Amino acid sequence: MIQFKNVTKEYSPNLFKEAKVALQNVSFEIKKGEFVTFCGRSGAGKTTVLKLISCEEKPTSGTVLFDDMDTKDVKKSEAYLIRQKIGFIFQDYKLLSYKTVFENVAYALEAFDFNEKLLRDEVMQVLELVGLESRANCLPKELSGGEKQRVSIARALIHRPEIILADEPTGNLDPYHTRDIVKILLKINEAGATVILSTHDREIVNALEKRVITLENGRIIRDEEKGVFSL
Amino acid sequence: MINYLRKIFKSGWEGFMRQGFLTFSTSLVIFIAVVLGTGLLFFQGGVSYLTQQIKDKIDISVTFKSDVPRDTILGIRDDLTKLGQVKKVDYISPEDAYNTFIEAHEGDEYMEALGLLSVNPFMPSLRIQTKEPSQYKDVSEFLKKEEYAGYISEVNDYKRGVTIERLGELTRSVQVLGISLTLFLSLIAIIITFNTLRLSIYSQKEEIEIMRLVGAKNSFIRGPFLVQGFLCGLFAAIISFMILTIVLFIFNKQLTTLFIGFDSLAFFKNNVFWVILLQMFVGAGLGLISSYFAVRKYLRD
């Protein structure tokens, strides 16, 4: 489903900064339905991997294939075609501040020109799944961190994506909410979606018992089925 | 397609209603631009009024000898009327001139002097108005023809020529200044509005990024921003129209005195359609176009 072939990503230098190599000659493959965790220290290249998958960034060299499509050939204005297959979950939630919980989740469907008659039921169903049906009319500023993250998950799930990209989804949450989020991610994976998680939380990685790819200074130093956190 | 547009309008409307501070600050700047645009329309109206006033005051007076028969003078008037440069020719008989003089000088020392005379000292004359102040020369050249010279006692353009020329130059200068000021201030209004909208959209840069990441097409992201900019402009235009109407109805007397007799309320009533059109065009147009260019930066390939 996703293939990285000798991928290097460098961020261009500017007047004040030197060129930064975020990924160096990275290769791996992720199959449909897998649950893969990328772990590593801050700056190891985890987020860059997710950005390359979602076409936010293009590799400096090498190839990133998404469903056999080279992301280098995808124009910025056509990147939505790839993103419509992805559900994003971010550490900082990235909710639209002036839209309610319902509208934030519905936005992802509206963007796909979804049948409006079915939209309300779909959204309420997903909100129920994440336990937020009673908060549907609240604005993001009225929610706790855990609730915001659940909205973010609901938005990621609403269009039944093939892949979930979760970038440090528990980074801002307490242990109680962290367990909740991990459970939801496992459920999504059991339902057939590919889950790609980026984290540096030891407990999560060890508890998952799924494939772990460890990055250090932009290189893969370990790729294990049922891996554990070891840095 | 209709459903898609409806969603874009709904989203734009929500943004307009819910982003209170952003809506207010954007509308305020567009409001200033609209007021400036409307002010310039009134300025142009005032300049035209002033120019017309000046033009109307410029005339050439041709005094005929006292023995020239009325029919001959009226014949010359007809010849003058046929000239392309001439706007209006009035015949003033000695009696009319006498009565006008009495009305203007009733009770003063000139009347005493007039009383000493046993005859009407005024001679028949023609008062000629040209279409443009500069055309007085052509008319006075026309009157210098040999066929008319025997009848004419005096053509007063020689004395007033310099004044007429200066007034003509003044009206031209006021018009040029008015147009230059209009263009300059319009440019400033456009730049300020564009930059304000650019800043307001910059503050929503992250939201645009989120929309992109959840898979929205560029048109679906751009649309609500355009609607929001349009609504801010429309809102600014409506508010400025209301304020303008109230101000003109309440302060018309003072404004008329301030603007040397230019009746702003009458101008407003006569041009209300153009005022609305201009305000809508400046407000909504600026909002729409500025939003388009401001959001384009974040949606480029």
Distance CA B154, CA B151 (A): 9
Q: Is the pLDDT assigned to residue B301 strictly greater than 60?
A: no
Q: What phi and psi, each to the nearest 5 degrees, are found at residue B127?
A: -110, 120
Distance CA B154, CA A36 (A): 107
Among B residues 97-156, those touching chain A with beta carbons less than 8 Å apart: none
Of residues A76, A94, A110, nearest to B300 (C-beta): A76
**What's the ipTM?**
0.82
User: Which pLDDT score, from 0 to 100, does residue A7 have?
Assistant: 94
Coil, helix or strand at residue A200: coil
Q: Is the pLDDT assigned to residue B132 strictly greater than 80?
A: no
Which strands sit side by side in the sheet containing A194-199, from one edge to the other?
A86-90, A163-167, A194-199, A35-39, A211-216, A219-224
User: Which pLDDT score, from 0 to 100, does residue B161 have?
Assistant: 59
- Cut 0.90: pTM above it: no
**Per-block average pLDDT, block size 10, for chain A (231 residues)?**
92 74 92 92 90 91 92 86 89 89 90 80 90 92 90 90 90 79 88 91 86 92 83 67
Work out the minimum CA distance from A84 to partner chain B, whole angstroms.
5
Distance CA A27, CA A13 (A): 24
Nearest 10 degrees: Cα torsion B199, B201, B207, B208: -130
Query: What tokens does B192 get?
Result: 């300020």
Work out the minimum CA distance from B268 to partner chain A, whole angstroms.
40
**pLDDT-derived band at B213, boundaries 50, 70, 90:** confident
Distance CA A2, CA A64 (A): 7
Q: Is the pLDDT assigned to residue B300 strictly greater than 80?
A: no
Distance CA B287, CA B268 (A): 24
Coil, helix or strand at residue A154: helix
Among B residues 210-249, those touching chain A with beta carbons less than 8 Å apart: 210-218, 220
Q: Is the pLDDT assigned to residue B98 strictly greater than 80?
A: yes
Stated as kind and residue range, the H or E segment containing A187 is: helix A175-190
Residues of B in contact with A116 (CB under 8 A): 3
- Using H for helix, E for strand and C for coil, what is the string for chain B? CHHHHHHHHHHHHHHHHHCHHHHHHHHHHHHHHHHHHHHHHHHHHHHHHHHHHHHHHCCEEEEECCCCCHHHHHHHHHHHHCCCCEEEEEEECHHHHHHHHHHHHCCCHHHHHHHHCCCCCCCCEEEEEECCHHHHHHHHHHHCCHHHHCCEEEECHHHHHHHHHHHHHHHHHHHHHHHHHHHHHHHHHHHHHHHHHHHHHHCCHHHHHHHHHCCCCHHHHHHHHHHHHHHHHHHHHHHHHHHHHHHHHHHHHHHHHHCCCCCHHHHHHHCHHHHHHHHHHHHHHHHHHHHHHHHHHHHCC
| One-letter amino acid of A192 | G
Coil, helix or strand at residue A37: strand
Q: What Å distances lie between residue B218 and A28, A53, A111, B175, CA to CA?
A: 31, 19, 10, 46
Inter-chain CB proximity B215 and A84 less than 8 Å: yes
User: Which pLDDT score, from 0 to 100, does residue B295 have?
Assistant: 87
Tell me the average pLDDT across B58-68: 84
Closest alpha carbon within chain A to B221: A111
Average pLDDT, chain B: 85
Task: Report the candidate in A168, A92, A83, A89 with the shortest Cα–Cα distance to residue A130.
Answer: A89
Render pLDDT for B150-181 as a digit per residue (tens, 0 to 9): 888 888 765 565 676 677 677 778 778 877 88
Q: Is A20 left (phi over 0), alpha (psi -120 to 50) or beta?
A: beta
Inter-chain CB proximity A98 and B300 less than 8 Å: no
Q: Is B213 exposed, middle or buried (0-12, 13-18, 19+ CB in 10 A)?
A: buried
Kindly give the interhelix angle for B272-296 and B157-202, rounded to the nearest 10 degrees.
40
Tally Cβ neighbours within 10 Å of residue A19: 10
Q: Is the pLDDT assigned to residue B255 strictly greater than 80?
A: yes
User: Which pLDDT score, from 0 to 100, does residue B52 have?
Assistant: 78
Inter-chain CB proximity A83 and B19 less than 8 Å: no
Whether the CB-CB separation of B157 and B60 falls below 8 Å is answered with: yes
Work out the minimum CA distance from A98 to partner chain B, whole angstroms.
6
Tally Cβ neighbours within 10 Å of residue B166: 11
Among A residues 77-96, those touching chain B with beta carbons less than 8 Å apart: 77, 79-80, 83-84, 86, 88, 94-96
User: Which pLDDT score, from 0 to 100, does residue B160 have?
Assistant: 61
Whether the CB-CB separation of A204 and A178 falls below 8 Å is answered with: yes
Coil, helix or strand at residue A183: helix
